[in-house]
Structure 1
Amino acid sequence: MKLVIDSHIHFDLYDHKQQQQIIRELKTYDIEKLIAVSMNEVSAQKTLLLSKEYSDIEPAIGYHPEQSLPKEEELLRLIALIDENYLSITAIGEVGLPYYLRQEHPDIPLEPYIEILQLFIEKAEQYQLPIALHAIYDDASIVCTLLEKYSIKKAHFHWYKGKTTITERLIQNGYMISFTPDTIYRDSRLSLMSQVPLTQIMVETDGPWPFDGPFKNEMTHPKMLHHVIRKIAEVKRRPLDEVYDILYDNTKRFYLE
């Protein structure tokens, strides 16, 4: 094993005992950093506090789109939180568009979510921060247009799924795409992995989201990323050590430099 950075984890959603276990075991499993994204204002406040308690946590502030629209007061406080902490946060995120919510409730209007996303993109542009995105299938095209409008270069499409044509657009724009432990047991993810250049790949757990296959009934832990990296090396037909180094450099350059 070599050094790994978890590029997307909801660390605040683990309970305290789980958080302590993960932090305690990071060095054991060669995990250097956790890019900890936020769900909403409360989540962002917790994540900021965790980042002060644990130096391994790199905080991001955002509003996850797969939930009801925030009240205006909460949104303003969240934007103010970015303004107050832009020097100490690592990214804007998790932000994006509500694909799954709209599958359950097709009558939900998309435009208000686009307007909120644009506010976060403006903050990413203002402070030159990376942005962690929840944007899949056709939503990714809408998000791409917004990113292009603001000339955003550091965009991370986490757990991305989409058409080949949209994927090619992300690649051409130099955006990053990350893969989770589901690649170990879902062959459908491998064609995307083949399409994305190794220099635009990162790995993530999206923990505490649970996984199936060999990880069924396990707490989602950054140590799982070593399995993902081995799968990437297999698919790309590249030496494992080389893949470790490239993915580590990708993530460090994107989020930490």
Structure 2
Amino acid sequence: MIPIFDAHIHLDQYSDEELHQFFSRDLVTLKGMISVSFNLASCKRNLELSHKYSPLVKCAFGYHPEQTLPSDSEMADLLNWMHRHLDDMTAVGEVGLPYYLRQKNPQLNRDHYAEILEEFIKAAVLWDKPIVLHAVYDDAPFVCDLLEKHNISRAHFHWFKGDPVTTERMARNGYYVSITPDVLYEREIQKLAASYPIQQLMVETDGPWPFEGPFTGQMTHSIMIHQSLSAIAEVKQLTIESVYSLIYKNSLRFYSVSESCYEQQKKDL
């Protein structure tokens, strides 16, 4: 019965049938989730879902970097819409740099994506919102530069992968990282979970992204977090109770979510 919080999921990317299956499960331990956005249409869908599944679903609005750049008018429309929905926005995200897209297309100019990212960083400062980042490997130090330039401290690097020097830099700056279910079978993620300060850890699923190992063939669901937390406790050599409690409180604190909003009886989903 210990509560869990999914710090990063793409709820809008699930089909209606999958959403029905998702919310038909026993969700008594799941107290909240941050559903991040790809673009304006995705933002609008997440807003609908946050209303339908309140108070469980919180929104992050932004433009995912692993896609074609938005036009100037698309970017303006998105930022204007986000500004009009500040009260519905828990965070800015998912934003960042297109690492995987550049692996497929090495000629892709990262500078243009960096300009878009900096616009979102400035908006996060202006609106006093945390920011959810897609920044892995070689992109992470550059993103740290931008965050430091704008004195950002409330930064969440989701499913982070990077070198030890950058990882230590992120920890010193107070940035948070979230651990995915592949902590059960990926050595790289296990090492990150073991080394990163427990006070700056969260857990996520990044659903509907599918996982392997014990999750092969399963629809990604937030309750997978229970197994993630057990794995984190093992690699950190901490009690499972302390890991559950600390990481849940980290999530509420980082996203400025009041635990009281979950005390009401959940709707019959």
Is residue 157 from structure 1 mapped to residue 118 from structure 2 by the alignment? no
Distance 1:48 1:256 in 2: 18
More deviation, 187-196/41-50: 187-196
Is residue 40 from structure 1 mapped to residue 39 from structure 2 by the alignment? yes
In the other structure, the counterpart of 1:216 is: 216
Distance 1:254 1:85 in 2: 20
Matched residue of 1:219: which SS? coil
After TM superposition, list the pairs within 5 Å mapping 1:221-236 onto structure 2.
221-236=221-236
In the other structure, the counterpart of 1:98 is: 98
Residue pair 2:184, 2:190 contacting (<8 A) in 1 also: no
In the other structure, the counterpart of 2:196 is: 196
Distance 1:189 1:203 in 2: 12
Identity %: 46
- Where structure 2 has 5 or more consecutive residues not aligned to the other structure, the ranges are 258-269
Distance 1:26 1:156, change over 3 A: farther
Distance 1:125 1:182 in 2: 32
Residues 66-85 of structure 1: per-residue CA shift (max 9 Å, x gap): 00111222111110111101
More deviation, 207-216/15-24: 15-24
In the other structure, the counterpart of 2:185 is: 185
Matched residue of 1:153: which SS? coil
Distance 1:26 1:170, change over 3 A: farther
In the other structure, the counterpart of 1:65 is: 65
Residues 197-256 of structure 1: per-residue CA shift (max 9 Å, x gap): 101100000000000011001000001000000001001111111110000000000013
Instruction: Tell me the matched-pair count.
Output: 256
Residue pair 1:26, 1:32 contacting (<8 A) in 2 also: no
Matched residue of 2:69: which SS? coil
CA deviation after TM superposition for structure 1 residue 20, in Å: 2.5
Residues 61-108 of structure 1: per-residue CA shift (max 9 Å, x gap): 010000011122211111011110112210000000000000110001
CA deviation after TM superposition for structure 1 residue 53, in Å: 1.3
Question: Normalising by the residue count of structure 2, what TM-score does the alignment of the two structures yield?
Answer: 0.93
Query: Which amino acid counterpart does residue 213 of structure 1 have in structure 2?
Result: G
Residues 155-176 of structure 1: per-residue CA shift (max 9 Å, x gap): 0000000000000000000000
CA deviation after TM superposition for structure 1 residue 124, in Å: 0.6
- Where structure 1 has 5 or more consecutive residues not aligned to the other structure, the ranges are none
After TM superposition, list the pairs within 5 Å mapping 1:6-17 onto structure 2.
6-17=6-17
Matched residue of 1:87: which SS? helix
Matched residue of 1:59: which SS? strand
CA deviation after TM superposition for structure 1 residue 190, in Å: 1.5
CA deviation after TM superposition for structure 1 residue 12, in Å: 0.2
Distance 2:232 2:213 in 1: 17
Question: Normalising by the residue count of structure 1, what TM-score does the alignment of the two structures yield?
Answer: 0.97
